[in-house]
Amino acid sequence: MSQDLAQKTAFITGASSGIGLATARAFAAQGARLILAARRQDRLDAERSTLTGAADVHTLALDVTDHAAVERAVAALPQEWQAIDILINNAGLSRGLDKVYEGKRQDWEEMIDTNVKGLLYVTRAVVPGMVKRGQGHVVNIGSTAGRMTYPNGAVYCATKAAERSITEGLREDLLGTPLRVTTIDPGMVETEFSEVRFRGDKQRAAKIYENITPLTPDDVADAILYAVTRPAHVNISEVLLTPVAQANSLLFHRTSKDQAK
């Protein structure tokens, strides 16, 4: 039997937009209790009304790159929110599209601090409680970029390859416990991702999705929902999903402007 999410507590990072917000809405529809974390508290507050069906919602402003802040936030959760059943490590970003030898140090540090260190900090703060309680599911959001490096994206791809290795290692470390560990690796998804990558350049970001039908955040949320609702003895180790028009990190089929109309 599939598992029921009603009254289960899910902690979602990067929950103010994109895949994180779509996952929060999908879990809410199943009656879950939601701990939603993001840097933008105002965005979290503005989206509360869209979380139809949630048993309860607790929001907190959190920068996952700050290890002390992560530890404080998890330790300071109200008693009724401390038993986290599902952790969705979604917070992540890309910066720039440069050759390695021309890359900007600030871009590298932001990607490594968020995608690798942030993933580790939140995992380290939450998973011991799951082990102690003897139940839990960790879902890390990876990428096709972690499976194949593409030109001008080496550092971002490296951070997602690191996510893949950390996920595999965590699964090995938890062997013998009832905990489950999953990586969800999407290809092209239309979110604020490209705007963040190009620091708000909407025109440049729009070209990424030109003449192609990408995945939506809801598509990825649906895959996450599938993974976490499998029977307790079933672990979906990894899910790789792409648009039909994407073969891998390098190959895409873009229609002409006339065909796209």
Q: Tell whether 164 is covered by a domain.
A: yes
Q: Tell whether 2 is covered by a domain.
A: no
Number of domains present in the structure of the chain: 1
pLDDT score at 255: 85
Active site residue 226: no
Q: Tell whether 3 is covered by a domain.
A: no
Q: Tell whether 1 is covered by a domain.
A: no
Segments forming the whole domain that contains residue 189: 9-260
d(CA 189, CA 186): 7
Q: What are residue 170's phi and psi, to 5 degrees?
A: -65, -40
**Lookup result for tokens 């307790």:** 232
pLDDT score at 202: 65
The structure's pTM equals 0.93
Provide mean pLDDT across the span 165-172.
Answer: 98
The per-residue pLDDT for range 209-239, each reduced to its tens digit, is: 888 999 999 999 999 999 999 999 999 999 9
- Asked whether residue 257 carries a pLDDT value surpassing 70, the answer given is no
Per-residue pLDDT band for 260 (boundaries 50, 70, 90) equals very low
Q: Tell whether 208 is covered by a domain.
A: yes
The pair of three-digit structure tokens given for residue 215, joined into one six-digit string = 């995945």
Instruction: Report yes or no: 125 and 164 within 8 Å, Cβ to Cβ.
Output: no
Q: Tell whether 219 is covered by a domain.
A: yes
Instruction: Report yes or no: 125 and 89 within 8 Å, Cβ to Cβ.
Output: no
CATH classification at residue 53: 3.40.50.720
Beta bridge mates, 140: 89, 183
| Cβ contacts of 52 within 8 Å, gap of 6 or more | 25, 28, 29
The per-residue pLDDT for range 237-254, each reduced to its tens digit, is: 999 999 999 999 899 998
Q: Which of 150, 156, 209, 226 is catalytic?
A: 156
Q: Which of 20, 9, 18, 14 is CA-nearest to residue 224?
A: 20
